[in-house]
Structure 1
Amino acid sequence: MKSKFYSVSIKFLIIQLLSVLCVSQSFDFFYFVQQWPGSYCDTSQSCCYPTSGKPAPDFSIHGLWPNNNDGSYPSNCDPNDPFDKSKISDLTGSMEKSWPSLACPSSNGLSFWSHEWNKHGTCSESVLNQHGYFQAALNLKNQVNLLQTLKTAGIQPNGESYSLESIKDAVTKGSGYTPWVECNTDESGNSQLYQIYLCVDTSAANFTECPVFPKGKCGSQITFPSF
């Protein structure tokens, strides 16, 4: 009877362990993604400024996304830990500035942040809780000033065209790591600088070289629109 009890207990513990592993999900690195608001807005879809007003003309956070070395990524890992704005109440001011939503209709950013946590953040719970996840992204943004890095290299958000390689070289020099550049298309059909990806280790504290880049590519010459 006792051995049967132990057998049931062990099976129960194994089930619990497997459920924890499924929730935490393993991953190899993060993509830290920042977007240029001028390129988000200068498309046929356009944009809407947040309810707090027009953001500063600076790169803003899009997300901190767990990824794997083979190019795959986990998502929506823990429906039992949904976004809770009360857990980041002390970060709201910084997030409105550094992580604004430009989607329409105008919003206070909560739906954007909720999406990022529920889809991506829950997959990093093995190292970051909700507050830690958003704080880590804010800290990473402060480590590398992308706009100043580009300006130092003579690359200005003035609607001019720049070579893709010069943009990559400038960010590599400024950050110490090779970026991946994502483009989108403006209303005239021109390729423009949209997002810059840098890779971060699983602690979400240190930049690292990317083991793999997303698919897609920009043209050799891309515009950098004003905002």
Structure 2
Amino acid sequence: MASYILPIALVALFMFSTALQTTSIKDLDFYHLVLMWPGSYCKQTSAGCCIPKTGGEPELDFFVKGLLPYSNDGKALTQCGMSPFYLDEISDLNNDLNSYWPNIKCPSSESRHLWKNTWKTYGVCSGLSEHDYFKKALDLRSKIDLLSIFKKHGIISTDYADYSLAEIKQVINREFGATTAISCSKNQWDETQVYEIYLCVDREARNIIPCPVLPNFTCASRVVFGSFTYDMLKNVSSLADNPIRMRIR
């Protein structure tokens, strides 16, 4: 009798996991595509940011933070199942993942741990294969090309100016016809800086759409969009790196 207990338990667990995942996928209405500005990440603490153990230096651009599944009532869909993470499934995406979805936390670590956590928390709720989940997020980041849009409108990453938060949101709205949410953090000089930008994406993870629901963040009316350079990755940021800072309004 005892020999049947483990197989039965495994079958029950599998059925429960499958039912949970199916229910969550049915509830999926849209995604939040979250893009992170790494320059702000590097300046949040004296720990700074580091080059990952594998993959080399990332691009000096917005990183993907996540493609987060949501329902129209504002419910985040997380940990919907127990689908394992296989690094081999996304091997053809390695260059883009290392460039635009790296882990730059200090001390240096391997980005694959970040990808695994993202998949097991959010990806399993998407109804997509592991490969398609990461590819669609990377494709969206490339299609949006937020850094180029900012530059076109005179929003340049620099440590010597600040910008109107309302104007940044207006730029995004004009380009995509959609609202956005911007989360902020404080840098080492106690300045409010652009940290993450939330855009809404349709259920097929193909196009930017007007947001059914957006998170509500508190930011100052004027924000820093600080520089991001390779020197910041090679040498941990500190106050001594840039002791004189002047604002141009």
> Same fold, TM exceeding 0.5?
yes
**Are positions 1:95 and 2:93 aligned together?**
no
1:170-181 pair list within 5 angstroms? 170-181=171-182
Which residue pairs with 2:133 in the alignment? 133
AA matched with 2:142: N
**Distance across 1 between alignment mates of 2:69 and 2:107:** 28
**Are positions 1:196 and 2:197 aligned together?**
yes
Which residue pairs with 2:143 in the alignment? 143
**Distance across 1 between alignment mates of 2:182 and 2:36:** 10
* TM-score scaled by length of structure 1: 0.87
**Distance across 1 between alignment mates of 2:99 and 2:147:** 15
Q: Once superposed, which parts of structure 1, at least 4 consecutive aligned residues long, lie more than 4 Å away?
A: none
AA matched with 2:18: V
Deviation for aligned residue 1:185:
0.6
Which residue pairs with 1:59 in the alignment? 62
**Distance across 2 between alignment mates of 1:151 and 1:205:** 24
Deviation for aligned residue 1:70:
2.3
**Distance across 1 between alignment mates of 2:155 and 2:145:** 14
Counterpart contact for 1:183–1:193, Cα < 8 Å: yes
Which range moved further: 133-142 or 46-55? 46-55
**Distance across 1 between alignment mates of 2:148 and 2:173:** 13
Counterpart contact for 1:27–1:73, Cα < 8 Å: no
Deviation for aligned residue 1:19:
5.4
Which residue pairs with 1:11 in the alignment? none
Deviation for aligned residue 1:139:
1.1
Which residue pairs with 1:153 in the alignment? 153
What percent identity do the matched residue pairs reach?
Answer: 38
**Are positions 1:82 and 2:68 aligned together?**
no
Counterpart contact for 1:179–1:198, Cα < 8 Å: yes
Which residue pairs with 2:110 in the alignment? 108
Residue 119 of structure 2, aligned match among 102, 117, 120: 117
- What do residues 56-90 of structure 1 show as CA deviations (whole Å, max 9, x unaligned)? 221010000001222221211112x1211011111
**Distance across 2 between alignment mates of 1:122 and 1:76:** 7
Secondary structure at 2:173 match in 1: helix
Which residue pairs with 2:71 in the alignment? 68
Which residue pairs with 2:21 in the alignment? 23
Which residue pairs with 1:206 in the alignment? 207
**Distance across 1 between alignment mates of 2:115 and 2:42:** 19
**Distance across 1 between alignment mates of 2:56 and 2:212:** 38
AA matched with 2:98: E
Deviation for aligned residue 1:178:
1.6
Which residue pairs with 2:244 in the alignment? none
Instruction: Output the aligned Cα RMSD.
Output: 1.8
The size of the alignment, in residue pairs, is: 210
AA matched with 2:223: I
Counterpart contact for 1:144–1:174, Cα < 8 Å: no
* TM-score scaled by length of structure 2: 0.79
**Distance across 2 between alignment mates of 1:142 and 1:89:** 19
AA matched with 1:64: L
